Every structure is written in C-alpha cells, then in structure tokens.
Chain A
Amino acid sequence: MKELSEVIFVEELKYTEDHEWVTGSGATLKVGISDYAQDQLGDIVFVELPEVGTVFAKGDQFGNLESVKAVSELYLPVGGEIVAVNDALGDAPELINQDPYGNWIVEIKPSDTSELEQLLTVDAYRQLLRG
C-alpha cells in the first residue's frame, strides 16, 4: 500500500469523496479515479462503461471497476450526459493502474455546472485522505 507521501496528486484536478478526479470546466468534463483509489483497488481487470448518450444525475452509479478481489461501483461526480467513454480501457483495463490521471474513464456534458463547485480541491482531497 502506498504511504500518503507516495500517493500522486495532480494540483489542477478536482476530486470527489469517492476518490474520483474531474478535469475541464467548460462544455465537457473528463472523469477518472485517483492514484489512491487505484492503489487501494489493486489490479483492475475489467471496466464496465456506460452507453454514450446516457444521462445520469450527480451521484448515480455509471459503471464498475473490477479488481482481482472485488467489484467497485463508479459514481458520477456531476450530473450530465455521457458524451464519450475511454474505449482503450476495454482492451487494457490495467492502464488505470499504470497511469490513473492519464487515463480518463468517461467524458460528460454537465447539466448543471454549479455542481462543480461542490468538488474538492487537491488540498481538500489530500486532507480527506489524511483523515
């Protein structure tokens, strides 16, 4: 398990309490999982992605990450429509372990950009992990 000092944080991203990251502010947002999350999950062996065009509310489950040990649910940080999914993860789910910030999972068109304000800054997320 990574020590907190080894966990990678990316300053310009926003985070959620479910250990996801969000980037972008305008028309679309990309969503992935944090380095802490991939380290906790261990080897990811399958990514279950939603259909493009599906509309979810904030906090809805939009997919699943399967590690060798267990299945973990993915929740949408901001409500909106799925405009793209990262198909590369279908053939190579391990990309998330290798580079959790370089490999987004879904891209969404937010229905209410004010929901972005509820996301955590990197400092707030770091604080959350410190507990």
Chain B
Amino acid sequence: MENSKMTVLHDWHVEQGANMALFGNYDMPLWYKTGAKAEHLAVIGAAGIFDTSHMAVVTVRGEGARALLQLCLSKDLETCIGKGKTALVDGRCVYGIFLAEDGTVIDDAILYQLRSDIFMVVVNAGMGGIVADHLKKYTDGQDADVQDLTDKVGKMDIQGPLAAKILAKVLAHSAGVFDRLSYFSFKGSFGPFASDRVVTLVDGTPLLVSRTGYTGEFGFELFVEIDCLPSLWSQLMDAGMDQGMLACGLAARDSLRAGAVLPLSHQDIGAWPFLHNPWQFALSWNEPMTSFSKKFIGGPALLKSRWQKHTLPFAGFDPRKINAGEGSFVTRESGERLGTILTCTTDMAIGRVDGAIVSVASNKDFQAKGLCCGFVLLDQACVSGEKVVLTDGKRKIIVEIRADVRPNRTARRPMDKMLG
C-alpha cells in the first residue's frame, strides 16, 4: 500500500465500507456494501455513479495540436464523426489508440476537441505522464504544448437509463445542456479550459458533460476542477438515491464493460499489435481494409505485421468463470491448445433462454443468473458461435465465441428517449 495513491473521494469510499483494492496504483472501491451484483444491475435498470478520477487527463494546445494528435492517434480526425465520416469539430470526442512505432498499444484514449487549438485527452490511470511524453516526442518543433494533468482533474461517471433525469436535478438549464447531446459529444468546460460555452451546476460550478462512458449503457462522464468533485459526487448521490441509483465500484465497472465488449487497456489490448480484435473501428482503415486513410504512428507497422493471433469476445452458459492469468488457457473441445484468457468476469444482467442471451433490460421479470464473459487471445481465428474450453488446468468450462455479449444496451439511445 505504500506509495499508492488516493482519489479525492477516497475518504467517502472508506466511510461507506467499500471493499478497496489497488488499481493502476490507486486505492479504489471494488464494491460498496450493496455488492457488485446490485451495482451492476442498478446501471442496467436505473443508474450508477463511478469515481473515475484515477483516470488521467492530458491537454494539447496550440496551432500544431491537431496535426500532432492526427499523427499519434489511431483514428483519422478528418473522417471520424458519424456515418457521414466528417471531421472532428468542437464539442465532439472520439475513441482511439496511441500506438508505439511497432504497432503495439501504449494506451487507449478519448480525445475531446474543446476548440480547434485546444484538445483534452483522457487516458487510463497512471498513463498521463507516459502518453504526454509520447506526444512530446512527436511535436517536432510544431506549436503544440502538451501538459499532463494527472491528479489535477476531477472526473466521475453517471451511467444507466436514469442518468440524464438524475443529472438534470443538479444541472442549471439542463434542457439546453441535453439538447442534441448525441453519443460521443460533450458540452461545457472546467478549470483549465475556460470557455464561453458554459455548463454549470445549480450551485454555479462549471463542468464538462460528455455523452460517453465505459459500461455500454446510456450516461455521461463528468469533468470538474478536482476540488469540486466531492461536492458533485454528493449532489448526485442525493439526486439519485430515491431513483435506485447506487455508487458503483470497479467490479461492476469491469463486468459491465466486459458485457459491452469494451477492452480494458493493458489487459485486452496491450504490448502486442493492435490487429484482429473487435476494436478495429479505432483505426483509420480504408474500405477494403488494405491501408489507412492517413499516416499515423504505428500504422506502417500494423500494415506489415505478421501478427496472427485473434482477440475474440466470448460468453459462457452459466456464471462459472476461470480466473484469467498464468496457468489458465483456452483449448478446443478436443483438447488442442488455442490461446490464453485476457478477461473473464460475470455479467450479472444476462442469462440464457433456449441458448440465446437475454438481458434483464428487455424483461424486468427475467431472473438472470449471470453469464461469464470476456476476451480470449487465440492463435487462430474462430467464428462466432464456435465453442472453446477455458481451463485453469483443473476446472474446464465451455464458452461460446461471440460477436457481442449483452443485448439491449442503451449507450447509443437518442437523448429524447431517455428524458421522456
């Protein structure tokens, strides 16, 4: 525990009796007294709030900022928005990967354009300095000032179908804030990004409201000056407590994101080429996937790569899991070794009905027992529906390779449907 870090909400987590554990060197809540299952289900049926202030923020400013990010982020900033493939503009954000020259993953990120010359990059816990140094390496005399704001930004997420209704209670002029706030767009600003497009809480605190998250469900990531985070957190607790909202720990965050087929950086993506995985949309592939629409760091290595392994989502047939890690592996039913387990957790909101996966989101009376799910890294491609065996050398469980896991997710639902 020595040298481990704490977020500004740490005292609250401990006072609430959370089970704490180190994550990215931060002492974080795994679950509160409500338990991970109730927290997971709250996000599916109502809402949950998450302390995500362990994540790091890097800013890039200047005339050369966009060119630097276009060079370093895997996504093409000129064609990354929507079906029309338009350019990143103010108020929009995009998911991408920072690759090393060899095509391996440094970290994944969401890039926010606050102004044509001001960008905010949100990366994983402990990665602020590393990503900032990586960007600085490629500034090459251009006017692009890179700052690591690790531990200087307050961030929390509110996720779930009631997220907007609960957030509306603490926002000033919420109708205006939510108007046309489509998936992967944001409004407002805070501390280091003073702007005239102000979004504030009822108490006047400026914040940035982003229509993003890491659960696959409808909701927001909220950014404030770090000193304002405890107050925002308690205001949202008060606003949501009679709506079935729960504070959620990292266990629920992990099971929700696994069911939504979202990768955990340095676990599902990492020190191997970013190829043959479910997240190729994060690259700037052209239509036949033969080359990229732009030049970017790591791109040439990916095009030349002989990487043959495949990262694939899976779901089991009951809640049983195999702990991922050394000694655990994947085989065919015949016993032939296929690869390793990257993530294996239980999505508590789903179960099987006649073989098909059903979520409590589509049927509130459905008694989901949960299904194990996650990602495997296999030596060869497997098609969706194929069954493989996860084992720790003793226990074996059969799981199914899937294109998707938890159905009826709400992340992309139109704003008006969630407010109506």
Tell me if B19 is interfacial: C-beta within 8 Å of chain A. Answer: yes
B346 touches A45 (CB 8 A): yes
Tell me if B345 is interfacial: C-beta within 8 Å of chain A. Answer: yes
Q: Which residue of A lies closest to B20 (CB)?
A: A1
Chain B residues positioned under 8 Å from A45 (CB to CB): 37, 319, 346, 348, 369-370
Number of B interface residues in the complex (CB < 8 A): 28
Chain B residues positioned under 8 Å from A97 (CB to CB): 35
B318 touches A46 (CB 8 A): yes
Contact of B36 among A42, A48, A64, A71 (CB under 8 A): A42
Chain A residues positioned under 8 Å from B252 (CB to CB): 68
CA–CA, A71 to B323, complex, Å? Answer: 6
Chain A residues positioned under 8 Å from B35 (CB to CB): 42-43, 97
Nearest chain A CB to B40 CB, angstrom units:
7
CA–CA, A40 to B18, complex, Å? Answer: 11
Tell me if A70 is interfacial: C-beta within 8 Å of chain B. Answer: yes
Nearest chain A CB to B17 CB, angstrom units:
7
Q: Which residue of A lies closest to B31 (CB)?
A: A42
Tell me if A94 is interfacial: C-beta within 8 Å of chain B. Answer: yes
CA–CA, A71 to B320, complex, Å? Answer: 8
B251 touches A68 (CB 8 A): yes
A39 touches B19 (CB 8 A): yes
Q: Which residue of A lies closest to B318 (CB)?
A: A46
Contact of A69 among B17, B20, B30, B318 (CB under 8 A): B30
Interface string of B317-339 (1 = CB under 8 A from A): 01111110000000000000000
CA–CA, A70 to B36, complex, Å? Answer: 12
Nearest chain B CB to A91 CB, angstrom units:
9
Chain B residues positioned under 8 Å from A39 (CB to CB): 19
B31 touches A70 (CB 8 A): no
Tell me if B255 is interfacial: C-beta within 8 Å of chain A. Answer: yes
Chain B residues engaging chain A, CB cutoff 8 angstroms = 17-20, 30-31, 35-38, 40, 251-252, 254-255, 318-323, 345-346, 348, 369-370, 392, 395
The 5 closest A-B pairs by CB, nearest first: A43-B37, A68-B36, A46-B319, A43-B35, A45-B319
Can you list 18 A-B contacts with CB-CB less than 8 angstroms, sorted by A residue number? A1-B20, A39-B19, A42-B19, A42-B35, A42-B251, A43-B31, A43-B38, A46-B318, A46-B369, A48-B320, A66-B321, A67-B36, A68-B251, A68-B370, A71-B321, A71-B323, A71-B392, A71-B395
